[in-house]
Amino acid sequence: MSLPELLAPVGSIDHLKLAIFSGASSIYLSGKKFGARKYAKNFSLSEIESAVKFAHLHNVKVYVTVNTLIKDNELFEVADYVFKLYKYGIDGILVQDIGLLKVVKYICPNLNIHASTQMNIHNIEGIKWAKEQGISRIVLPRELNYNEVKEMVDFAHSVGIEIEIFVHGALCYSYSGRCLLSSLIGNRSGNRGTCAQPCRQKYQISIDDVESNKINIPSKINTKINSKTNIKINNRTNRTNSKINSKTSIKTNNLNVNSNQHNGEYLISPKDLSLFDHLPKLIDLEVDSLKIEGRMRSKEYIAIVVSQYRQALNQLKGKLKFNNKNKNTNKNNISKNYNISKNHKNYRNHSSHKNHDSFKDKKYYNSKENLGIVFNRGFTSGHLLTKNNQKLINKRKPGHVGLFVGNVSNFNSKSNEISILLKKGLINIPERGDGILIESFDGDYGFEISNNPVLDVNKKNNQKYLLVKLVKENNNVNVSFKKGDNIYLTKRKKLNDLTKNMLHNNDKKSFKKSIVSIKFSIDSQNSDSLYFPVLEANVILGNGKKLNFIDRSNDSWELAKNKPITTNQLKKQLLKIGDLPFYIDNINIIYSGNLFAPLSKINEFRRDFFNKLEILILNSYIPDDNDLNISKNRLKDFKRDLISSSNINNSISNEISINNSNINSNNINNNNNNSISNNNNINNNINNKSDISNINNNIINKSNHLDNNRVGNESFNIINESSNNKTSKYSVSAYINDLEILKNISNNDDGETSFNRLYLEVPVENDFLESKPIDVSYYIMFLKEALNISNNQKYELVWKWPDIAHKDTKEGLIKVVAILKKLNIKINIMTSLLGVNSYLKDNYSVNIYGSYSLNVFNSISASNLKDFDLLTFSPELSINDLKTLMDNYEAKNPVPEVLVKGNIETLITRKPFIDKKHYSYITSICNNNPKFNFIKNKSINDINFYLNDLKNNFYPIKSVEDGNLILNSYETSLVDQIPRLASFGINNFSIDARWKSKDYLLNLKL
940 or 897, greater pLDDT: 897
Using CA atoms, how far residue 544 sits from 59, 512, 513, 514, 540, in Å, is: 10, 12, 12, 9, 6
Convert the pLDDT of each residue in 384-424 to its tens digit: 998 888 889 999 899 999 999 999 999 998 888 999 999 99
Q: How far is CA 215 from the centre of its chain?
A: 34
Q: Can you tell me the distance from the alpha carbon of 10 to that of 40, in angstroms, rounded to the nearest whole number?
A: 9
In terms of Cβ atoms closer than 10 Å to its own Cβ (0-12, 13-18, 19+), residue 679 is middle
Residue 348 pLDDT: 39
**Least confident among 324-328, 426-430, 669-673, 796-800:** 669-673
Residue 720 pLDDT: 27
Averaged over 347-356, what is the pLDDT? Answer: 44
Averaged over 778-783, what is the pLDDT? Answer: 97
Query: Quick one: pLDDT band at residue 264, thresholds 50, 70, 90?
Result: low
- H helices, E strands: number in the chain: 26, 38
Q: Can you tell me the distance from the alpha carbon of 5 to that of 509, in angstroms, rounded to the nearest whole number?
A: 18
Q: Can you tell me the distance from the alpha carbon of 997 to that of 330, in angstroms, rounded to the nearest whole number?
A: 54
Convert the pLDDT of each residue in 900-926 to its tens digit: 999 999 999 999 888 777 777 777 777
Q: How far is CA 587 from the centre of its chain?
A: 48
Residue 747 pLDDT: 85
Convert the pLDDT of each residue in 856-905 to its tens digit: 999 999 999 999 999 999 999 999 999 999 999 987 789 999 999 999 99
Convert the pLDDT of each residue in 947-988 to its tens digit: 999 999 999 999 999 999 999 999 999 999 999 999 999 999
Percent of the chain with pLDDT over 90: 66
| Residue 200 pLDDT > 90 | yes
Convert the pLDDT of each residue in 117-165 to its tens digit: 999 999 999 999 999 999 999 999 999 999 999 999 999 999 999 999 9
Residue 749 pLDDT: 52
Q: Can you tell me the distance from the alpha carbon of 896 to that of 807, in angstroms, rounded to the nearest whole number?
A: 30
Domains of the chain: 5-171+270-321 (3.20.20.70), 173-220+904-970 (no CATH), 400-504 (2.40.30.10), 515-621 (no CATH), 731-902+976-992 (3.20.20.70)
Residue 256 pLDDT: 37
| Residue 674 pLDDT > 70 | no
Give ∠ CA 428-433-438 in degrees, rounded to 5.
70
Q: Can you tell me the distance from the alpha carbon of 119 to that of 291, in angstroms, rounded to the nearest whole number?
A: 16
Confirm if 215 and 953 have CB atoms less than 8 A apart: no
Residue 354 pLDDT: 47
Residue 537 pLDDT: 97
Convert the pLDDT of each residue in 452-480 to its tens digit: 999 999 888 889 999 999 887 666 667 78
Query: Quick one: pLDDT band at residue 36, thresholds 50, 70, 90?
Result: confident
First-residue to last-residue Cα distance in the chain:
63
| Residue 304 pLDDT > 90 | yes
Percent of the chain with pLDDT over 70: 80
- Mean pLDDT score of the chain, rounded to an integer? 83
Confirm if 78 and 614 have CB atoms less than 8 A apart: no
Averaged over 279-283, what is the pLDDT? Answer: 95
State the pTM of this model: 0.86
Residue 765 pLDDT: 81
Using CA atoms, how far residue 484 sits from 164, 206, 318, 421, 466, in Å, is: 43, 33, 43, 9, 14
Report for 61-65, 362-366, 682-686: range of highest mean pLDDT: 61-65
> How are beta strands 514-523 and 582-589 bridged, if at all?
parallel
| Residue 238 pLDDT > 60 | no
> Is the dihedral angle over the CA atoms 883, 885, 887, 890 positive or is it negative?
negative
Confirm if 641 and 628 have CB atoms less than 8 A apart: no
| Residue 792 pLDDT > 60 | yes
Residue 936 pLDDT: 56
Confirm if 290 and 282 have CB atoms less than 8 A apart: yes
Residue type for position 69 = L
Confirm if 422 and 499 have CB atoms less than 8 A apart: no
Using CA atoms, how far residue 284 sits from 2, 327, 806, in Å, is: 10, 12, 22
Residue 222 pLDDT: 45
Q: Can you tell me the distance from the alpha carbon of 471 to that of 150, in angstroms, rounded to the nearest whole number?
A: 51
Convert the pLDDT of each residue in 555-613 to its tens digit: 999 999 989 999 999 999 999 998 899 999 999 999 999 999 999 999 999 999 999 99
Using CA atoms, how far residue 411 sits from 405, 478, 489, 589, 986, in Å, is: 16, 13, 18, 71, 70
Convert the pLDDT of each residue in 47-104 to its tens digit: 999 999 999 999 999 999 999 999 999 999 999 999 999 999 999 999 999 999 999 9
